[in-house]
Chains A and B, each alone.
Chain A
Amino acid sequence: MLLFSSMNTATTLQNPRTIEYSREKRPGSDFLFRLFLILLGFLLLCLIVLLKSYTATDFRKDPIILLYTVLVTTFELSRIMSAMLFPSIRRKIAAAKVVRDNYEPTASFVIPCKNEGEAIAKTIDKCYAADYPREKLEVIVINDGSTDNTAEVLERMKIKYPDLTVVHWKVNRGKRHGMAEGFKLSKGEIIVQLDSDSYIDPKTFRKLIEPFANPEIGAVCAHADPENADKNILTKMQAAYYFMSFRVLKAAESTFMSVFCCSGCSSAYRREIVVPILDTWLKERFLGLPVTWGDDRALTNWVLRQGYKTIYTDEAKALTICPDTWKIFFKQQTRWKKGWFVNSVNAAKFIFKREPFVALTYFYPLIAITLITPFMAVRAFVYNPIYRDVTPLFYVIGVYLIACIMVIFYRLIARENKYWPYMFVWSTINMVFLSFILFYALATIQNRKWGTR
């Protein structure tokens, strides 16, 4: 078993791209395809410059608006730019000496769950199937007051995997408490935190652990895709969004080794960093009430705050379930926005001291832009047409041009990913609706209920 897995490791190392997304096209056509995309990208850049230059006439009297549009465009492009630089830093991490020396620390899966009788068995199976020495793995499941057959399923799994640790709580105490409990019980050097409906592709598990060979790295976020992507237009759209937010936005953050959110569905933490701050993390409050969302962001914040690096790797693949109804989707979005806001306020306090470059080039602009964008959308769609007789056409063109650039990059790095057309759907919904959810989220920030459960 050990022999087998180490052989497997060797092959993986020789060929670090042994991931699901294999390229089956002929190299020739692939080259032409990429050339075409790159040329198209340049064309679009020219169009964007042209658009800015053209609309600048209207903005002559509003230099602040002009500054805003230039900054937003630059910001979006800077994300793509950093995402393009991401492979370089990933190679650098993978090339570390300890990784080559077959770095294999012990690892613990921590899975808090509530009423997940259907999904949990598969999640546990996948944990144990990980391409990793079995004796170095540990799985801890916290049954957080489930009222369905979860307890029963877990007991069955305990027979199948005698070393499975299961904690049953009669009363629901919340995800954050479940995570903390699991972290405390764990013994592995690395803690892999999973949502009950997500799992890591066993073949790529090792890639999630490897970066920890670098002692500066405190947390690693895996690439997540929705497993139920093909269900309907909403899930397809989210599949595109997941790809963008992981492979572009998180990758971009990872280029400077400061990922601000190692997602709750599939991230790994170095135990020695996380355990000491667990109690503080549990007691976090915002405006006097305990924080019930954004646990993953909060935890990542703590890692960054202690001066460790956080990265994303596209080589470790996780699959999760995304909302398939609009209602749940909006609830989830609202929760995420709340989490984003609360934890961004927290991070804003320390990030400049820790990572001044990231703070100035990314973090503070991001906060500013996220907060201003809805106002600009209202200005473009309501104020300008009614009071100034200015068409929102150019605003819309600008948004879609940026979306096009994103899609071109999307196609360049993952030609086989078929969900790219839905980026435009996402852009549309984001432009007319999602950016406003932030305000709804802020208005209801004192409502600490979970939402999707």
Chain B
Amino acid sequence: MERHITKIKIFFTVSMAIWMVLVVATTKNRVLEKQVARAERQTQYMRYKFEFSRGQNLPTLASVGALIASVFKEPESAISAEATSSALRAEAVPILLYHGIVSKPDRFSLTPEAFKEQMFALKREGYETVRLDDFIQFVRGEKDLPEKSFLLAFDDGRVDSFEEADPILQALGWSSVMFVATRQSFPETGINEYYLNKNQVADMAKSGRWEIQSHAVQLTGGAIEVDKLGNRGNLLSNKMWLTDLGRLESEEEYIQRIDNEFTLSKQAIERLLGTSVRAFAYPFGDYGQDSENAKGLAEETIRGAVTKNYEVAFQQTWDKDNFFSENFRGLEPDFYRLRRVEPASTWSGDDLLAFLKGAASKMLSYSDLLTANNGWKNPWGAMEFNGQGLHLMTSPETTGSFAFLDGTRGWTDYLYTAKIEKEKGDYVTLFARYQNDDNYVSCTFGDRYVKIDEKEDGVLHTLIEDENPIHTPPEGAYYGIYVNGSEVKCYEGGAVAVLSFGFDDKLSSGGIGVRIWDEALNNGAIILSSLQVVPSNEANSVLDALPLYNR
């Protein structure tokens, strides 16, 4: 009897132990969880596939059959440029950047529904994702891409964005670039649920829908202490405060740390996936410009490290900065400052399309009554569209206001004219060949004088400054700037006010902008309307139609 009971006890203990080990092992390794997550994504994929096709056409029996068949087929890979070679070629390609996709949106995240709506809207409008390699060749000017191409990108290597986005990508036949911070995703010990781990990253790469690139190691996390008070700054652009030693890191230490951030993250991904890592995304879009304690050194160090390791690097643009949103074919002077746009979490699909329409490269001739914003960005001062035109205003803390038209970076020789009604303020400046804040040509019209400025790599030259020979009526007059080769002319009405030859031929292309300025704070406002831009060889026909004002 005793022996029998002992046998039963042993059997009982062993079987329950096996069960416990089984549960704990599967729970710990999350073997099944992975399967469940994959099954969930698969279900989501089928759902999206169905939803997308249902929104596109009425479901007929044939389309349902085709849909069912397509679900079992391997998803087609992202579109290749050749497939639509007949379509118009893109002059510029946007990069859409997302961080997280969660049910409760925050500063860095949008909801799965919002993301889905934005993606579906893009697909319906004819947009297609491109591969990183296509994109790199495109900005180098070595390859054409169809119009309505874009690069999709995610920063931070978050699990939520992968899990929510992947089924959508699969359903739409798209691909995306994921920028992972290797310290967060491949930690030496433990696992952080929030970030993709090695296995997930490897699976993503294998799926063909994801290209894994570097978002630095982020050994110290995104923010570091930058002084002894404990103030924090971005990890790449600041010398780190070494609490143990009670000092900032030395220049050598800083350079070494930054070099590691760029080199080791690239190596870690390449070792894991066996593919080359070519692109880098600056954490917080900070390539040194936001440095707290190492200005100059930071930009130089970061540039050294990024150019040594990568072919391209990405910053981010916001609606209040002076960068063009898209990346122009063959016109980008700096492959380490390519720009990405983060669609707002509140944007509907139509909002995103409207934004892209404004940001898209524009063809000449171009005219706009300026009753609505078709791509004007306003980095400084204030701007509104009041129905009569672009209402450019100072704000209480500025002496001026500036706006430029997105998507015009590729324009070369043209005449840009507009009707300007001066409400208050002294000077109005029209910009041409605008590339960024450091590179442009401009005509400034004051009450007493007119001048032509050229700014190249941040250095401003006044090419010519003269008394203003023409008296324009403040209640509304036409102004213009004409650029052709290295010739620039400033127009008031149909007449040249001042002209110059021979500005720097590095400024051979660029877009248009407008600025107002006055000595006093918040004392400037104009209404810009009847915008017209034509190629320089058609300038005369436009000029002939403009009025002539009193000399």
Contact = CB atoms under 8 A, between A and B. Distances in A.
B16 A74 contact: yes
Given A53-B26, A256-B5, A257-B5, A361 B13 contact: yes
B9 A256 contact: yes
Interface string A48-66: 0110111011001000001
Nearest to B24: A70
A256 B16 CA distance: 15
B316 to A, nearest CB: 30
Contacts of B27: 52-53, 56, 66, 70
A52 B23 contact: yes
B22 interface: yes
Contacts of A66: 27
Output the residue of B27, B31, B36 with the most chain A CB within 10 A.
B27
Nearest to A67: B24
Nearest to A88: B8
Contact of B16 (A53, A78, A92): A78
Contact of B1 (A74, A214, A361): A214
A49 B20 CA distance: 10
User: Does more than half of chain A's interface fall in helix, strand or loop, or is it mixed?
Assistant: helix
B32 interface: yes
Interface residues of A, number: 28
Interface string A82-108: 100100110011000000000000000
Interface in A173-194: none
Nearest to B32: A53
B33 to A, nearest CB: 5
Given A49-B26, A52-B26, A88-B4, 5 more contacts: A54-B33, A60-B193, A70-B23, A81-B15, A256-B9
A357 B9 contact: yes
A73 interface: yes
A85 B4 contact: no
A78 B8 CA distance: 12
B71 to A, nearest CB: 24
Interface string B485-510: 00000000000000000000000000
A44 interface: no
Contacts of B24: 70
A49 B22 contact: yes
B366 interface: no
A89 B4 contact: yes
A52 B193 CA distance: 17
A50 B32 contact: yes
A50 B23 CA distance: 9
Contacts of B4: 88-89, 92
Interface in B1-46: 1, 4-5, 8-9, 11-13, 15-16, 19-20, 22-24, 26-28, 30-33, 36
Given A50-B36, A357-B9, A56 B16 contact: no
Contacts of B15: 81
Contacts of A77: 16, 19
7 contacts: A49-B26, A53-B27, A56-B30, A77-B16, A89-B4, A89-B5, A357-B9
B33 A56 contact: yes
B12 A361 contact: yes
Nearest to B6: A357
Contacts of B9: 256, 357
A289 to B, nearest CB: 38
Nearest to A58: B193
A141 to B, nearest CB: 36
Contacts of B22: 49
B33 A73 contact: no
9 closest A-B pairs by beta carbon, nearest first, are A53-B32, A56-B27, A53-B26, A50-B32, A53-B27, A53-B33, A78-B16, A92-B4, A54-B36
Given A49-B32, A56-B30, A70 B20 contact: yes
B18 to A, nearest CB: 11
B536 to A, nearest CB: 61
A361 B20 CA distance: 13
Nearest to A60: B193
Contacts of B11: 85
Given A49-B22, A361-B12, A92 B1 contact: yes
A334 interface: no
B7 to A, nearest CB: 9
A85 B6 CA distance: 12
Given A89-B8, A257-B5, A54 B20 contact: no
A255 interface: yes
B12 A85 contact: yes
Contacts of A60: 193
Given A52-B26, A52-B27, A81 B1 contact: no
A311 to B, nearest CB: 11
A85 B8 contact: yes
A82 B491 CA distance: 98
